[in-house]
Amino acid sequence: MEKIIKIEHLFKSFGNVKAVNDLSFSVREGELFAFLGVNGAGKSTTISMMCGQLLQDSGKIEICGKDTCASMADIFSRIGVVFQNSVLDPFLTVRENLESRAAMYGISGRKFDSRLNELASLLSFENILGRQFGKLSGGQKRRIDIARALFHNPDILFLDEPTTGLDPQTRKILWDVVTELRRGQNMTVLLTTHYMEEAADADYVVIIDSGRVSAEGTPLELKNRYTGDFVLIYTDDENFVSSLGFPYQRLRDSFRISVPNCAEATRMIVHNQDKFVDYEITKGKMDDVFLSVTGKKLTVGDEK
């Protein structure tokens, strides 16, 4: 797959604060790419530069083969952005909002009606087209925000914390749509999220801290590199668990034993088959990876 986004030696400062400090990474066409970082890590600043809202101090950003400093007008037609906060007019209806946004891309008349019907069906908002945007629920607003970003069929979709505060049904609709677009149109998706289960489904993950890359790789690579495996044994025999010689955590009706890898877990279980009657083996989670890499826990509202 070709690299559809290239970031090379990117710098951006605000006074004495180095928000982005020699940042380099790339995104391949068709990927679901997770871009993670706690508050102040430089993530939002980087996205703002990628979308043409900020100009870098130095370094290069290339999107769809074009330099953002020279060809941002061309790039705009290739990208869609779902911001954390909606940019739509609260006093206009859903249809009026989308009609005004579509006009910016030269979409009007029958072409607009056709695309509106398509997206309304895809995102399940056919019954609220005439309602005032500002009076919609949070989940309904997010569906319209996504429709706005998709109206011109972009090659790249930026999703900045798209599911924060959403109900499970709306979250499922959003991810079903993203999956369908990636499968059917090979759309590239760059995601920021504080839900680590969403990052775990990404093709590639970059974690930044203090404006530079702290870790990158596939979720499996990161789990293998930064966390071990865990054996959850359902027992009340803490003396036995302690005798195994591995760090463990007592839970309500079980113990979570930390082991270096699956091979070590297998060895431990095989050597104690009479004790391991009811147990599970699990990989470390992306939460564990993030904490190991940054020393910080990612919580709701932390990603900026």
The share of the chain scoring above pLDDT 90, in percent, equals: 73
pLDDT, one tens digit per residue, over 162-177 is 887 788 888 888 899 9
- Tell me: do 134 and 264 sit in the same domain: no
- Tell me: do 159 and 63 sit in the same domain: yes
Q: Name every residue whose Cβ is closer than 8 Å to that of residue 119 and which is 6 or more positions away in sequence.
A: 98, 147, 150, 151
- Tell me: do 217 and 232 sit in the same domain: no
- Tell me: do 200 and 233 sit in the same domain: no
- Strand order across the beta sheet in which 17-28 lies: 17-28, 3-14, 58-63, 66-67
> What is the CATH classification number for the domain harbouring 198?
3.40.50.300
Rounded to an integer, the average pLDDT of 216-242 is 93
> What is the CATH classification number for the domain harbouring 243?
3.30.70
Phi first, then psi: what are they for 4, rounded to 5°? Answer: -90, -20
Whole-number pLDDT of residue 1: 65
Range of the domain at 92: 3-221
The CA–CA distances, whole Å, from 275 to 229, 230, 259, 270 equal: 19, 16, 17, 10
Whole-number pLDDT of residue 304: 39
Whole-number pLDDT of residue 246: 95
CA dihedral 62, 66, 70, 73 (to 10 degrees): -110
Question: Residue 10: is its pLDDT beyond 60?
Answer: yes
Whole-number pLDDT of residue 299: 53
Whole-number pLDDT of residue 302: 46
- Tell me: do 32 and 103 sit in the same domain: yes
Query: What does DSSP assign to residue 37?
Result: -
Whole-number pLDDT of residue 197: 85
- Tell me: do 144 and 12 sit in the same domain: yes
Quick check: is 292 in a domain? no
Whole-number pLDDT of residue 219: 94
Question: Residue 224: is its pLDDT beyond 90?
Answer: no
- Tell me: do 180 and 82 sit in the same domain: yes
Quick check: is 296 in a domain? no
pLDDT, one tens digit per residue, over 272-304 is 999 999 999 988 889 889 988 988 655 544 443
- Tell me: do 138 and 245 sit in the same domain: no
Q: Are 6 and 188 in contact (CB under 8 A)?
A: no
Quick check: is 270 in a domain? yes
- Tell me: do 245 and 101 sit in the same domain: no
Whole-number pLDDT of residue 233: 97
Tokens of 41: 């890590």
pLDDT band at 156 (very low <50, low <70, confident <90, very high): very high
pLDDT, one tens digit per residue, over 41-58 is 888 899 999 999 999 999
Quick check: is 299 in a domain? no
**Which residue in this structure is represented by tokens 């910016």?**
104
Angle of helix 168-185 versus helix 138-150 axis, rounded to 10 = 10
Residues paired with residue 33 on neighbouring β-strands, in sequence order: 190, 204
Tokens of 150: 């998709």
- Tell me: do 32 and 177 sit in the same domain: yes
Quick check: is 214 in a domain? yes
pLDDT, one tens digit per residue, over 76-118 is 999 999 988 889 999 999 999 999 999 999 999 999 999 999 9
Whole-number pLDDT of residue 216: 96
pLDDT band at 244 (very low <50, low <70, confident <90, very high): very high
- Tell me: do 122 and 250 sit in the same domain: no
Structural domain total, the chain? 2
Q: Are 284 and 229 in contact (CB under 8 A)?
A: yes
Quick check: is 302 in a domain? no
Question: Chain centroid to CA 202: how far?
Answer: 8
